[in-house]
Each structure stands twice: as C-alpha cells, then as structure tokens.
Amino acid sequence: MKKIFLVVLALVTLNASAQEWKPKLKKVFKYSTFYGAVNGGNSISDVDIFSVTNGLETETVKTPFDYSIALGVRKIARLGYENRANTFYNGTEKSFSDNATIGKIKGFEFLFELDYTRQQGINFLNQQHFLRYVADKWIAKIEYIQDGFADIEYFEASQRYRQKIGKKLSFNVGAVQRLSEPYGYNPLEEWILSNGNLHYTQLALQEGYTVNFDGQEGIEYFDPSNNLVATSTEVWEAVIIPQVLADYTEKKRNQLDQTLQHSLVIGFDYYHFTDDFWVHSWGNLMPYHYDNNSEYSYHKFNNGQWMDYSGGLIFGYRFNRSLGIFLEGKYNKYWNRNWHDFSFGLNYVIY
C-alpha cells in the first residue's frame, strides 16, 4: 500500500511539474517552425570515355541524381527586407541574415538545421545550429557549424558586452570559445624529404600497399586487400597515390583530440530599413587568441597570432516602382579555412 501511495504521489508531482513547464515551453516555441523535406533532381549527364588500347572501347561514367534531406526547427524573426519565399520550408532557403550577430528582436531565437546532400555523386553533411539571446547591453550565443563543402566544423560560444549608438548601430566586445579539430596540422609533414618532395611510396607501403616487380620490366601495385590497383607507375602516381594521401590525411586528423581556443572578439551590427532602401551589415574580428602551448596549437602552425574574422552585407535599393538592385553576401575566415556566399543583381518589373 505504501509503494502504491509513493507511485501515485510521484505521478501527481510529475503532472504538476509538467503543468508548470507547459506554458513556458509553449512560450519558447511560439512562432517557431518544425520542418522536414526531401529535394532532388538530375545531376550532370552521363559521360562517355573512349579507349583504343585494345581496339575501340567505350565506358560510360554515370553520376547518380542529386538530392538533399533537410530536417530543422527555426524561430528567427524576419527582418523588414525579408519575404517568405515559399509557402512551406523545404530546407533550400538561404537567408544571409541567419549569420548576423543580432536579429530583429530582443530575446531568445534559435535555429537547428541538418542537411544531408548528394551533389554530383559526392555526399556532404551540412549543419547549422544556434541559440541566441540579445539584450540591450549584452549578447550570448552558442553555435555549431559543419560545412561539408568548405571542410570546416566547430562549436562556438560567445559572451559580449553591447553598446548601442543610436537606433541603427551597435558595437560589441567579449570572449569567444571555439572547439574544433586542430586546424593547421599537416599529417604529411613528417613524410616530406629535405628537398621538398614527398616520400609517397614509402607512406603507401606503410599503409599496407605492396609493389611487385615481375623481373621483365613490369610492375604491379596492390592495395591492402591484395587487389591489383595499377600496372604502371603513371597510373600509380596519378590515380592511386592521391587517394592514399587523402585516406592517410583523414585518418590522422580523425585520431587527434579536439582543441579549445579562447579568443577576444570585437564586432558591430548596423541595420537600416525603409521600403525603398535598406542596409544590414555586421562584422566580427578576433585579433587575439590565448596560446596554451599544446602540441597542435594553431599558434605553432602560424608562428604567432593571427586574425580570424567574419562578416556580411545585405543591401537593396529601389530606384522607382519598376527598377531595383540588390547585393547580399557573407564571408568567413577561421584558421586556414575560408568560406563564403554571395548574390547580386537587379529586378525590373513591367507594369
């Protein structure tokens, strides 16, 4: 009887807690959108490759169709220059303002999006997740980025003091913590000879490849599974060695632990909007990075301090009812990685 009473009491307590949290959760997710979508289309056309080594031979290289699978949830207030392009979110939307330090409103905003893409036969995983809180005097943000196209992946948290200059411009300063693989580390450095060349065959032998001389000026190359992969030095160097180096580099990078980088950040955000003219720009500069003297510190790769930065610009102007121009873009440079997107053009509407 006592056990039954305790179970009932626990259920009542949980129910009461759920009732208390329900309004709070509803407030957090109010106006947010959960979405999932699959998009696809044909890739590049098939390519015929001809060979006359043993008579005319034709090989057709086929590329599978392109597709993307997107899952996400977002709660980001649209700025004055932004319009809802589609009735439904399908994961293909690109909003440069998602990368801005400050949004349209004060308070809590978030974005969680995962996009698995196959493009021209190559698979990519792209992710962008962030939680952002903006107040009059401070900004806090945590973010996780994985860009398969740019080969960049990191977790970032920042805490900044914000100083407003009028209603349109604000400056901020604070600290940033980034967790990532040790960018700048070169796994092939130990294989570089004194003359600057790479001892690639010795590396391949270490990785399990074998070389067989038949005694009649012929040569065969086998992979670690003992499959014949090349019968000439030309094919070995042009086709197999690049893949050996890529596999070795990826393996060594994956073996390393993540590194934590503490940096100083200085930034600004400017937003002006009217129906005929708007400018939204932002920038972040990290001029100083704490050196913890770790083995794979980027300080060692760069021989000292470096500048990391990011920024964006969204500009639009309507000359009259018919003619308008626009310019949008963002640029990021972190460590020895950089990635960017841009769009510009004009619209002319005939009435």
Q: What is the pLDDT of residues 116-155, one digit of tens each?
A: 988 888 888 899 999 999 999 999 999 999 998 888 999 9
> Which one is predicted more confidently, 227 or 282?
282
d(CA 76, CA 108) in angstroms, rounded, equals 9
CATH class, 33-185+256-348 region: mainly beta
CA distances from 196 to 29, 192, 193, 241, 256 (A): 57, 6, 5, 17, 25
Q: pLDDT > 90: what percent of the chain?
A: 40
d(CA 36, CA 116) in angstroms, rounded, equals 12
pLDDT score, position 52: 64
Answer yes or no: is pLDDT of 103 > 80. Answer: yes
Q: What is the mean pLDDT of the chain?
A: 86
pLDDT score, position 9: 44
Residue from 39, 92, 91, 47 nearest 65 by CA = 39
Strand intervals (E) in the chain = 33-41, 47-51, 57-61, 66-75, 107-119, 122-134, 138-147, 152-165, 169-180, 210-213, 219-222, 228-230, 259-273, 277-289, 308-318, 323-334, 337-348
pLDDT score, position 345: 97
Cα-to-chain-centroid distance, residue 226: 37
> Of 30-34, 69-73, 166-170, where does mean pLDDT reach its minimum?
30-34
Residue from 75, 87, 84 nearest 30 by CA = 75
pLDDT score, position 295: 82
> Which one is predicted more confidently, 308 or 77?
308
What pLDDT digit, counting tens, does each position of 263-280 carry?
Answer: 999 999 999 999 999 999
Q: Which two tokens stand for residue 163?
A: 């100083």
Other beta carbons within 10 angstroms of residue 118's beta carbon come to 17
The answer to whether residues 38 and 66 touch, using CB atoms and an 8 Å cutoff, is: no
Answer yes or no: is pLDDT of 19 > 70. Answer: no
Average confidence (pLDDT) over 205-230: 84
